[in-house]
Amino acid sequence: MTTATAAPLLEIRGVSKVFGSVIALQDISTTVGAAAVTCVLGDNGAGKSTLIKIFAGVHRHDGGDFLLEGEQVSFSSPREALDAGIATVYQDLAVVKLMPVWRNFFLGSEMRKGRGPIARLDTDAMRKIAKAELLAMGIDLRDIDQPIGTLSGGERQCVAIARAVYFGAKVLILDEPTAALGVKQAGVVLKYVIQARERGLGVIFITHNPHHAYPVGDRFMLLKRGRSLGDFAKSEITREELTGLMAGGAELEALSHELQQGGGAAAEAAQQIEAEAHDLAIPSGVAAGTPPKA
């Protein structure tokens, strides 16, 4: 499917991940190009966060290949992923509530002055940069020293995003970054996604919302219960098809079957649902759960 001859920035082939007896991911493949946005969509528990945590170095994959710029990698810690240029906004944001905003911003990548044993934190510079970067996101904090736990959920989200954007060198991963945001700030986040792409970064954007994904995405990967429902380039899927897949055309059909067996009013509802599933225009073969790529 990929037309580029050079290796993509990031690629996974048949990756799987197991937690004890739970198969969180099975046979997942996708690519993230430089200056491109790959959207990962799926229901709760589909394995989206698990997938990006493999990229971020939180988990190691159990099977398959994970390639960064054509080379096999397997990060043993998030530090390694960061050093390789992959920055992540986690779904839980990964902030330390009791610590000041600016310390959270620079946590793990602190700026220092001086050398050797007397190297110390450059607190002034970090405060200033954190404040400026947040201001650029439209977050005007009254005090950059306040514990991040005192910020609202949306503000915390913005700190986590601003931090990843600031430190992401090659790949930027956003795990449901718009979930806790209002319309205006969700728009700001989407603008950031586009900006990152324009700067040449590969972006992995996780969302529930196909209306957020479609305008910014170059590639769409759908997950369901740890399996891939398909991995499409934008040219291969329309917004309606994506919405249909996300709305779970297959589930709607299953639901209608169940209701039909009830008879009476339930059967009536079943017919409506069936019609709806039909309207969603699901690409053939996809709804049945078979990935289009072998």
Partner 1 sequence: MTTTLSPPTPEADERVARVGLLRRLVLRPEIGSLIGAVILFVLFAVSSTQFYSLAGISNWLDPASLFGIMAVAVAMLMIGGHFDLSAGVLTGTAGLATAVMTTQWGLNIWAALLVSLVLCLGIGFVNGYLVTRTGLPSFIITLATFLMLQGLNLAVTKLITGTVSVGGMAQVPFYDTVRPLFASRINVFGVDFKIQILWWVLVVAIGAWVLAKTRFGNWTFAVGGDPVASRNIGVPAARTTITLFMAVGACAWLVGTLKLMEQTSVQTNQGFGEELIYIVAAVIGGCLLTGGYGSVIGAAIGALIFGMTSQGIVYAGLDSDWFKFFLGAMLLLAVLANQYVRRYAERSGK
Ligand X SMILES: Nc1ncnc2c1ncn2[C@@H]1O[C@H](COP(=O)(O)OP(=O)(O)O)[C@@H](O)[C@H]1O
Q: Which residues, in sequence order, are CB contacts of 3 under 8 Å at separation 6+?
A: none
In the list partner 1, Mg ion, ligand X, none, the entry touching 248 (Cβ below 5 to 8 angstroms by class) is none
Amino acid, single-letter form, for residue 229? L
Q: Examine residue 185 and tell whether it contacts Mg ion (CB under 5 A).
A: no
Number of residues forming the site for Mg ion (CB under 5 A): 2
**Which of 214, 221, 213, 225 lies closest to 251 in space, CA to CA?**
225
Q: Indicate the residue among 46 and 144 with the shorter CB distance to partner 1.
A: 144
Q: Examine residue 128 and tell whether it contacts partner 1 (CB under 8 A).
A: no
Residue from the set 31, 49, 207, 228 that interacts with Mg ion by CB under 5 A = 49
Number of H helices, E strands in the chain: 10, 12
Residue from the set 47, 100, 210, 244 that interacts with ligand X by CB under 6 A = 47
Q: Indicate the residue among 86 and 222 with the shorter CB distance to partner 1.
A: 86
The CA distances from residue 76 to 44, 54, 162, in Å, are 26, 10, 25
Angle between helices 265-279 and 249-262 (to 10 degrees): 160
Residue linked to tokens 């793990």: 108
Q: Examine residue 146 and tell whether it contacts partner 1 (CB under 8 A).
A: yes
Q: Examine residue 121 and tell whether it contacts partner 1 (CB under 8 A).
A: yes
Q: Indicate the residue among 28 and 137 with the shorter CB distance to ligand X.
A: 28
The CA distances from residue 257 to 139, 254, 271, in Å, are 49, 5, 9
Q: Which residues, in sequence order, are CB contacts of 218 under 8 Å at separation 6+?
A: 33, 36, 37, 38, 197, 233, 234
Q: Which stretch binds ligand X (CB under 6 A): 7-15, 45-53, 78-86, 265-273?
A: 45-53
Q: Which stretch binds ligand X (CB under 6 A): 40-48, 92-100, 126-134, 181-189?
A: 40-48
Q: Examine residue 215 and tell whether it contacts ligand X (CB under 6 A).
A: no
Q: Indicate the residue among 165 and 213 with the shorter CB distance to partner 1.
A: 165
Residue from the set 5, 21, 44, 261 that interacts with ligand X by CB under 6 A = 44
Q: Which residues, in sequence order, are CB contacts of 80 under 8 Å at separation 6+?
A: 57
In the list Mg ion, ligand X, partner 1, none, the entry touching 98 (Cβ below 5 to 8 angstroms by class) is partner 1
Angle between helices 183-198 and 153-167 (to 10 degrees): 0
Q: Examine residue 49 and tell whether it contacts ligand X (CB under 6 A).
A: yes
Please give the full DSSP string across 211-249, using - where no structure is assigned: HHHHHH-SEEEEEETTEEEEEEEGGG--HHHHHHHHHTH
In the list ligand X, Mg ion, partner 1, none, the entry touching 74 (Cβ below 5 to 8 angstroms by class) is none
- Report the C-alpha gap between 199 and 192 in whole angstroms: 10
Q: Indicate the residue among 29 and 150 with the shorter CB distance to ligand X.
A: 29
Helix (H, G, I), strand (E, B) or coil at 204: strand
Q: Examine residue 96 and tell whether it contacts partner 1 (CB under 8 A).
A: yes
Q: Indicate the residue among 112 and 239 with the shorter CB distance to partner 1.
A: 112
Residue linked to tokens 């394995």: 47
Binding footprint of ligand X on the chain (CB under 6 A):
19, 22, 24, 42, 44-50
Binding footprint of Mg ion on the chain (CB under 5 A):
49, 91
Binding footprint of partner 1 on the chain (CB under 8 A):
56, 58, 77-79, 82, 88, 90, 92-99, 103, 107-110, 112, 119-121, 123, 140, 142-143, 146-147, 149-152, 163
